[in-house]
Amino acid sequence: MPAQGCSPPLRRRPMLTRFSLRLRIFLIFAGLAIAVILATALGLWLGYSRLDDPDASQGFVQAAVLAGFAALGLVASVWYLFDLNVAKPIETLSGALRARAHSDVSVRIDAAIARYLGDLAPAAEAAAQSLSETRNALAEAVARETLRLGTEKARLEALLSDVPVGVILCSADHALVFYNSPAADLIGAGRGAGLAPGLDRKLFDYLHAAPLCHAHDRLVATADPDALSDLLCTTVAGARVLAARMRLLGDGAAGYVLTLRDITGDMATDARREAMLADALDSLRRPAATLATLVEVLPDDALPAPMRAAFKAEVARLSQAVTRFATAREEGQAEATALPQTRASDLAEGLVAQLGSRGIQATAKAADLLLRCNGFEVITLLAALAQKVQAQGAVSDLHVTIEEEDSGATIRLSWQGARVGVGTLDRWLAEPLSPDTPDRPASTVLAAHATEIWPETIADRDALCLPIRQARRAVARPKPLARNVVYDFELLSPARTDPLAETRLDRLTYVVFDTETTGLNPRQGDEIVQLAAVRIVNGRRVEGEVFDTLVNPGRKIPALSTEVHGITDAMVADAPPVAEVVRRFHKFAEGAVLIAHNAPFDMEFLRRVEGRLGLTFDMPVLDTVLLSAVVFGQHEVHSLDALTHRLGITIPEEARHTALGDTLATADAFLKLLPMLAGRDLATFGAVLTEVRKHGRLLKDLN
């Protein structure tokens, strides 16, 4: 037994296996010769011992010698022939095969070296030839793929060099892995040559860390590889304000991608414009209010009746114009502000954590809402205000609430203790948002969100009230598809002119789609409530090309239908109508082959509005029900669940019976069916169409 901690001794190979094949065969024949000689000698000795004639011994000895030499010669001759025609050719053949297996040898094997070994030599020659052909084909494929990847790499590098926004790739510990020229210009401005961006340098040498760390932590916490975060960050030198978008690579362990755009000038311009509009609005609002008051308090005999009526009418029109001006300004602010969606609970928890890091204890309660706001900036603003409230007097029971109000939400930071006046709050808002941005007052956060903040008192509690203009209830829906970089340079090849019937399936463009409806009877008034589609180009699903929208059906959604797909009347209240969605989908599917699971059902809902829209869905249509029947036979079950189960495709529970979830499952199933169809010599559209027509009865039974 080996000592503990030591490896067991290596097992020795048997003695004979360490010899060459020819030596082992020689030893076998030598043993055979010895055995024959011994057997002959033993036989002669037994014969002599029974003869009992001493004079015959000489004859027996001579016979034994002659028999021994004869046996030895015979065995040696057989061994020589066996060695020459069997053992030696086997070793030669094995060496030739090993040379072709482990070295780049392509010379054909001479079959004559093993002409007495039956079919072994031709079989070895065929195996070597097949290996050589496979190796050559693999080398050619690798060379082609290397060339293609090199070409695509060069094209992507050219594209990235021309992209006007900065692109940065960072590792999980925030070290620079990749950056393009615009990114180097954005983050390196004002740092000097010695501190220009460089690989493996920390991103925080160039950009302030807080908003980046906050966004990164949030994305990691979501555990969603498709999630992204929009944020504002500032450069360490030069005080540039950059609009950034962060997306994790995989689960975040590999790092993240950051795109940057300089909005310093835009913010300054917007600030000047907003200041000008605010001054103009204020200069109009006050005189209009004064005139309206004067009209009401003027004595009846101060002006003639006609003049007084005209004066009142003009003042009313002026007030209405000021109101329209103010409304248009607020709407313009909301439309001009592209803000990410932030979960209310995340914002509340982040604010409590931020206050805790400053030694301020707080509690929070948030409705299940998605807020359209920059979570980092809102947290930074409210944390700074809470710290100032804490500093000006005894404050207790600090509490954060986020509640739904109308089409938006309201964030309230309430407490018991010192009261905050409007003048004090305005003074705080004029101060810098944080030490990292000394030139950016806190009020810019309000301007960016087209909102305002004010103090109020509710019961015995004082509060700061911050409305968020855009918010919606968080509803469990399938994860959104990422809008990744989309490319397929195969499409730059010469145009394909084959007729559709003769075109290979993997060379066609497809649009896979699915609908969710109010019911199962389009001819009795049922309508679409959700429509989703994805595109397949050159045999692969294009991740970024997705059509997914809710639809207002113009009628109530039955409760039984809602139980299936989870779509309610409230969810489609602001959705576009059926005609508009179908028109947009027709454009999305233009020039492609339509794919659906049980296509007649979905096509019926589309074709019933063709007359109203003045268009037709005349695209070719393939049905995965029929394709499944072609591959697996009619006796199988061909529902989407059964098909995906057979093909090893998993549909997440929350995505089943949603238009997008079922569309993705159908697309993945179709892509797996393509090589199976090709394996049955059904590689062209015409061949598949001829075959599926044999199974049309399935759809009639299904519908």
412 vs 462: CA distance, rounded Å: 10
Tokens of 437: 């941005």
Q: Which of 557, 552, 531, 542 is nearest to 659 (CA)?
A: 531
DSSP state of 202: B
Q: Which of 199, 195, 193, 208 is nearest to 170 (CA)?
A: 199
Tokens of 179: 């950056």
C-alpha dihedral sign at 515, 521, 523, 527 = negative
437 vs 440: CA distance, rounded Å: 5
| Inter-residue contact 447 to 402 (CB < 8 Å) | no
Report the chain's C-alpha Rg in angstroms: 42
Residue 161, sorted as left (phi over 0), alpha (psi -120 to 50) or beta, turns out to be alpha
C-alpha dihedral sign at 185, 188, 193, 196 = negative
Output the CA–CA distances (angstroms, integers) from residue 312 to 234, 286, 291, 295, 497, in the order listed: 52, 16, 9, 6, 74
Phi, psi of 493 (to 5 degrees): -70, 165
DSSP state of 640: H
Long-range pairs for 152-160: beta carbons < 8 A, 24 or more residues apart: 152/487, 152/489, 155/487, 155/489, 156/485, 156/487
Phi, psi of 258 (to 5 degrees): -130, 125
**How would you class 134 by CB atoms within 10 Å of its CB: exposed for 0-12, middle for 13-18, buried for 19 or more?**
exposed
DSSP string over 82-147: HIIIIIHHHHHHHHHHHHHHHS---SPP-GGGGTTSTTHHHHHHHHHHHHHHHHHHHHHHHHHHHH
Task: Provide the b/e sequence for 114-125 (b: ≥16 CB within 10 Å).
Answer: beebeeebeebb
| Inter-residue contact 128 to 114 (CB < 8 Å) | no
Chain CA centroid to CA 117, Å: 58
Any residues with CB less than 8 A from the CB of 412 and at least 6 apart, and which?
400, 401, 402, 403, 463, 464, 465, 466
- 463 C-beta neighbours (distance < 10 Å), count: 19
Q: Which of 181, 176, 243 is nearest to 204 (CA)?
A: 176
Q: Which of 96, 130, 132, 131 is nearest to 111 (CA)?
A: 96
DSSP string over 680-692: TT--BHHHHHHHH
Q: Which of 361, 664, 431 is nearest to 536 (CA)?
A: 664
591 vs 511: CA distance, rounded Å: 9
How, if at all, do strands 510-517 and 528-537 pair? antiparallel
| Inter-residue contact 243 to 260 (CB < 8 Å) | yes
Q: Which of 102, 597, 657, 695 is catalytic?
A: 657
Chain CA centroid to CA 400, Å: 35
Is 657 a catalytic site residue?
Answer: yes
The amino acid occupying position 554 is G
Phi, psi of 432 (to 5 degrees): -60, 145
Catalytic residues: 657
